[in-house]
């Protein structure tokens, strides 16, 4: 998921995110400190977003009325929020084996931690309401526990995988506050989940609840790490193929945005190994899409994304933001991306 305000360290792809890139007087060096000139893009064309949602529905053969109603509520909120916040709507494409899921996205409510918690929680509920009373009950229970400063942001998500529609609610946590995090999780998930966190709950960055009309179907715990030496990550996860490929950048390379993901079942029980997935932010790790594209394309699941890129994304300017891979093997891939506005036309002098 994108995090508002991240300042990229490289000048190649990050300029694509900059609101002043067409008028920038500075030539793009290989590396640069962008603290002084980087400005997050905000003026996203609402009609382009609407068109992309239609394309994703077509690609996924999604026709359910609740999804259309949810999109209407989302676009109404996005039209206001995108004037002040960038990258709050993050799309993703996921492939597992031969199965692909193109209709996926997360939508954040960054004003939640800025004094508008009640209003943003109500806006999030409106995205869930079309999916029925059971889904609303889950959302009400989770959002009732989300309070700043412990919860710094809330996010809504959806994955309309064929035959497996799932809604998602995420709570992004502030740093520290281990006891408070355990207390909140114990009210959302059964005890086994809190036991899994007993070693370092203060590091918990995000919790995601997967649900549908029938109730909770699973959860994910996200442990955010920075200053991770790539060689050490490779030793810890020797079967994570993409990590081994990236290690070619040099054993001393350091990653500043690595998320270790733990999957839980509907009862809080483990659903897989202690760490089931690795999520890498591209910008914060000094990576551009060109750095990982060739590595991704060599795998079968990567070829599925290449097909998606050449078809559904062909008419858009976009930028990859994150990739998520299994901690072992290469049977799954998720690529996260945001839309970019076309370059502004320069006025004739």
Q: Which residue would you say has higher pLDDT here, 288 or 228? A: 228
How many other CB atoms sit within 10 Å of the CB of residue 127?
A: 23
What's the pLDDT tens digit per position in 197-214? 656 777 788 999 999 999
Report the distance separating Cα 207 and Cα 172, nearest Å.
7
More confident site: 303 or 9 = 303
* pLDDT at site 12: 42
Place of tokens 């976009």: 318
- pLDDT at res. 212: 94
Contact 278, 324 (CB under 8 A): yes
19 — pLDDT class (breaks 50, 70, 90):
low
Position 267 scores a pLDDT of: 78
The predicted-structure confidence for 234-281, as pLDDT tens digits, reads as follows 999 998 878 877 876 665 688 999 999 999 888 777 788 889 999 999
> Which pLDDT band holds residue 156 (cuts at 50, 70, 90)?
very high
pLDDT over 70 at 140, yes or no: yes
pLDDT in tens, 68-115: 999 999 999 999 998 888 889 999 999 988 889 999 999 999 899 878
Domain ranges of the chain: 14-324+333-340
Measured CA to CA, the distance from residue 186 to residue 293 in angstroms comes to 40
Question: Which phi and psi (to 5°) does residue 321 adopt?
Answer: -115, -35
Q: Is the pLDDT of residue 311 over 70?
A: yes
pLDDT of residue 8: 34
Radius of gyration of the chain (CA): 20
pLDDT score for 35 = 47
Strand-strand pairing, 332-340 and 89-96: antiparallel
b/e code 55-72 from CB counts within 10 Å (16+ = b): bbbebbebeeebbeebbe
Residue 285 burial (CB count, 10 A): 24
Identify the weakest region by mean pLDDT among 9-18, 100-109, 172-181, 337-346.
9-18
Answer whether 203's CB lies under 8 Å from 222's CB. Answer: no
| pLDDT on residue 302 | 82
Cβ count near 239 (within 10 Å): 11
């Amino acid at each position: 998921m994108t995090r508002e305000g991240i300042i990229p360290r490289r000048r190649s792809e990050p300029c694509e995110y900059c609101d002043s890139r067409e008028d920038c007087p500075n030539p793009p060096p290989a590396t640069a400190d962008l603290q002084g000139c980087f400005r997050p893009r905000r003026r996203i064309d609402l009609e382009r977003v609407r068109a992309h949602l239609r394309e994703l529905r077509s690609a996924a053969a999604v026709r359910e009325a609740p999804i259309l109603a949810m999109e209407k509520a989302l676009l109404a909120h996005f039209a206001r929020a995108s004037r002040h916040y960038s990258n709050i709507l993050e799309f993703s494409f996921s492939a597992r084996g031969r199965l692909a899921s193109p209709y996926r996205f997360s939508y954040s409510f960054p004003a939640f931690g800025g004094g508008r918690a009640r209003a943003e929680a109500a806006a999030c509920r409106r995205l869930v309401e079309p999916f029925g009373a059971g889904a609303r009950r889950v959302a009400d229970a989770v959002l009732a526990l989300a309070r700043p400063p412990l919860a710094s942001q809330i996010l809504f998500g959806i994955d309309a995988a064929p035959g497996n529609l799932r809604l998602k609610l995420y709570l992004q946590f502030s740093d520290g506050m281990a006891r408070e995090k355990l207390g909140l999780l114990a009210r959302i998930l059964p005890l086994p989940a809190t036991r899994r966190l007993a070693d370092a709950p203060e590091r918990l960055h995000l919790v995601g609840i997967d649900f549908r009309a029938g109730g909770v179907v699973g959860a994910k715990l996200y442990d955010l790490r920075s200053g991770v030496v790539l060689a050490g990550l490779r030793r810890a996860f020797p079967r994570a193929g993409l990590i081994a490929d990236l290690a070619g950048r040099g054993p001393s390379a350091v990653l500043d945005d690595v998320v270790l993901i733990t999957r839980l079942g509907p009862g809080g029980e483990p659903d897989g190994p202690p760490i089931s997935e690795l999520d890498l932010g591209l910008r914060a790790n000094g990576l551009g899409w060109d750095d990982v594209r060739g590595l991704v394309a060599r795998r079968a699941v990567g070829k599925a994304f290449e097909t998606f890129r050449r078809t559904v994304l062909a008419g858009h300017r976009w930028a990859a933001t994150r990739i998520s891979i299994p901690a072992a093997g290469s049977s799954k891939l998720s690529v996260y991306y945001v839309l970019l506005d076309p370059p502004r036309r320069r006025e004739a002098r």
